[in-house]
Amino acid sequence: MPITPATATHSSSSGTEDAILLELVDENGVTIGTAEKLAAHQPPGQLHRAFSVFLFDERGRLLLQQRAVGKYHSPGVWSNTCCGHPYPGEAPFAAAARRTHEELGVSPSLLAEAGTVRYNHPDPDSGLVEQEYNHLFVGLVQSPLRPDADEVGATAFVTPAELAERHAKDTFSAWFMTVLDAARPAVRELTGPSAGW
């Protein structure tokens, strides 16, 4: 069962409630500690480990997700296929695969590392700050989506031209273009020149 709101807790083996913790990292991505999820996003933000996934269909179209309106951070905006935070000690690759399945009900048929990007993006609507060391992943999705309505408001597969049109009229997450631009070399390698990424 997915647990994503910043204030959500989960039961430990002793039956007590534990706060969701994120890995704090230095500028080189080396773990230096942990912080509670919401606290890490309070201004000015604490640099923490995150991941972003970009999945494509057989036609080279990017799967976008509209974040559910109940999300604590950037609700209702469009963004990349999946993003989130590894639990402390969890490999970013494993976290990316886990959250993709939890949010969209699918496992990528291919998932590959696509580098990292460091950014600082305040969210003017919530007042929270994305101060992240982000691990990027690209891959393929070939199964029907089964989105979790608590996580995902809508989905869409888009070509580069359709993305440009949608980006001009819809609201996207503050980090979307940063992570997409950083992932583009791997996206082009995955989708080939004819896809236009």
- Report the length, in residues, of the chain: 197
Q: Identify the three-state secondary structure at position 179.
A: helix
Q: What does the alpha-carbon distance between residue 180 and residue 186 come to, in Å, rounded to a whole number?
A: 10
Q: Please identify which of the residues 23, 103, 132, 151 carries the catalytic annotation.
A: 132
**In Å, how far are 78, 79, 90, 130 from 54, measured between CA atoms?**
13, 10, 20, 19
Query: Could you check whether the bond before residue 124 is cis, i.e. omega within 30 degrees of 0?
Result: no
Q: Please identify which of the residues 83, 103, 130, 151 carries the catalytic annotation.
A: 83
132 in catalytic set: yes
83 in catalytic set: yes
Q: What is the set of active-site residues? A: 83, 132
